Structure 1
Amino acid sequence: MNRAQISLLAHAGHPIAAPLDDDSVRLLLDRALPREDARVLDLGCGGAEWLLRALGAHPRLRAEGVDVSGDALARAREAAHALGVRDRLVLHHEDAAGFTAAHPFDVVLSVGATHAFGGLRATLEAARRHLAPGGRLLIGDGFWERAPSPEAVEMLGDLGGLPAVMDTVTADGWTPVGGHISSRGELDAYEWAWTGSLAAWALDHPADPDSAEALAVADTHREEWLRVYRDCFGFVCLVLRPTSG
């Protein structure tokens, strides 16, 4: 199974591909959207769950999403049709880092997708290229809540602590106007949903040739979460505005 297939199955029970509950998602979107008729872009949108929720809550909003997973985008199109928002959503099947838009956006989102750009700073730079004057960026990334083990760093990368994240953001010319640090409950709920959804699919489809691999991936992920990074990993979402310009 490739990464996209695993992700699609693992997020069946937690469509937001980040450790955030529904209230946190709603509050962040409310903070990020400057007006009812905003134009929104999600870089690395996956199944476009952020955009679907925004479109459902704001009938004048228009949105575009970019992702490399054709399966995730197909699911997003089906969901958009079911919600009656398909005519206001444009989806692009391509690499978010190389995406060129036809126009600027009032809001740019990139939550849990900094890996697609090569890190936080590169994601900030990419988002800035798409932002209209006066626009806002909603970005989400991991950080170390406390000193990680070498194994955790090898697994998740040299993320830095929350002050280092904020230093990167402000040094790149952004000012935070809102934010949310995921709670322990949100972090744990996300991991239980990720491993549980993947394992449940494997158990429900024992004859599928990918079943054994899916169950093994779920088991390995659960062990890594519990034994390697649960006590040191955190996740922050920030609503940012350019400091000048």
Structure 2
Amino acid sequence: MDIPRIFTITESKHRIHNPFTPDKYDTLGRVLRLEPGARVLDLGSGSGEMLCTWARDFGITGTGVDMSRLFSEQAKRRAEELDVAGQVRFLHDNATGYVAEEKVDIAACIGATWIGGGVAGAIELLSKSLVPNGILLIGEPYWRRKPQSEAAIKECHAGALSDFLMLPELLAWFGDLGYDVVEMVLADLEGWDRYEAAKWLTMRRWLEDNPDDDFAQDVRRHLSSEPTRYAAYTREYVGWGVFALMAR
């Protein structure tokens, strides 16, 4: 069980696998008014940066679940590095269908809503682990500007224009699903650059170290095309944020 290899190569040096920066996660923790001992579940936890830094800075406890073997091991090492291994644990597992044994105060799916078949399904799954009046966190893209061609939509890694909503539409949709939006923290262009551009040096170094690997041609194609694609499309059209929701 693992994620596609291209991600474990391009994001192998990432601590955060989305367009957030450490400052954004700190802001998110502060606006959520995290208190020591708060229990957090993170489905699709990646390399564990959110849980680890929140354990260090706010005193939370938590569980992260991710199907990447590499990222799960990185998360465990990060917990040890920050001396919070007694507060957080990380499971290498498929988060699809995962429900916490003990109800949590905050249940999060940050950029991995595919585990529920989309946003609505991810919300339904997370709600099964949540205490009454707990907070759900959903990390999701939205259109900053709508692309005007099918080709541009594809270059934004969307299957169709309807895959993403404009920000006001996304917020309204959460309401339609029966949730109040009680906070949001949005990524900025610096966060997008750090997330995307960091992949390019990682790919170049990987190619230098693995010239005869069967996957080298795929990585070379990505490195040759991604900077231009990102600058022309994702950076121009796609926003991303984490939205805090409470059931009505």
Normalised by the size of structure 1, how large is the TM-score?
A: 0.88
Secondary structure, counterpart of 1:96 in structure 2: coil
Shift in CA distance, 80/5, structure 1 to aligned 2, threshold 3 Å: farther
Q: Distance in 2 between matches of 1:83 and 1:183?
A: 26
Tell me how far apart the structure 2 counterparts of residues 227 and 40 of structure 1 sit (CA, whole Å): 37
Q: 2:235 aligns with which of 230, 233, 239?
A: 230
3-state SS of paired residue (1:97): coil
Q: In structure 2, what is the equivalent of residue 172 of structure 1?
A: 177
**1:149-160 to 2 correspondence within 5 Å?**
149-154=149-154, 155-157=157-159, 158-160=163-165
Number of equivalent positions: 241
Match of 1:221 in 2: 226
Deviations 1:7-28 (A, max 9, x none): 2332344411111222111110
CA distance in 2, matches of 1:33, 1:183: 22
Structure 1 CA distance, aligned partners of 2:178 and 2:119?
A: 13
Change in CA separation of 1:130 and 1:197 when aligned onto 2, cut-off 3 Å: same
Equivalent residues of 1:31, 1:239 under 8 A apart: no
Displacement of 1:207: 4.9
Q: Distance in 1 between matches of 2:178 and 2:33?
A: 20
2:247 counterpart residue number: 242
CA distance in 1, matches of 2:129, 2:33: 15
Which residue type is aligned with residue 151 of structure 2? E
Matches within 5 A, 1:134-213: 134-148=133-147, 149-154=149-154, 155-157=157-159, 158-213=163-218
Separation in 2 of the partners of 1:85 and 1:137? 23
TM-superposition CA deviations, 1:78-137 (whole Å, max 9, x none): 222222222222222222121122111101121111123221121221111111122112
CA contact (8 A) 1:195 1:219 kept: no
- Stretches of structure 1 that go unaligned for 5 or more consecutive residues are none
CA contact (8 A) 2:3 2:67 kept: no
What secondary structure is seen at the aligned counterpart in 2 of 1:235? Answer: strand
The whole-number CA distance in structure 1 between the counterparts of 2:191 and 2:80 is: 29
> TM-score with structure 2 length normalisation?
0.87
1:101 aligns with 2:100: yes
> Following the alignment from structure 1 to structure 2, what is the Cα–Cα distance between the partners of residues 206 and 171?
51
SS at match of 1:133: strand
Aligned-partner Cα distance in 1 for 2:34–2:56: 16
What code does the residue aligned with 1:72 have?
Answer: F
What residue identity is the alignment partner of 2:247?
Answer: P
1:67 and 1:95 in contact (8 A); partners too:
yes
CA distance in 1, matches of 2:152, 2:124: 27
Amino acid at match of 1:64: T
In structure 1, the partner of 2:31 is: 31
Q: Is the contact between residue 174 and residue 242 of structure 1 (CA under 8 Å) also seen in structure 2?
A: yes
SS for the counterpart of 2:128 is: helix
Amino acid at match of 2:49: E
Structure 2 residue ranges without an equivalent (≥5): none
Greater Cα offset, 35-44 or 163-172: 163-172
**For residues 167-198 of structure 1, what are the alpha-carbon distances to aligned partners after superposition, in whole Å with 9 as ceiling and x for unaligned?**
22111122122212222222223211123322
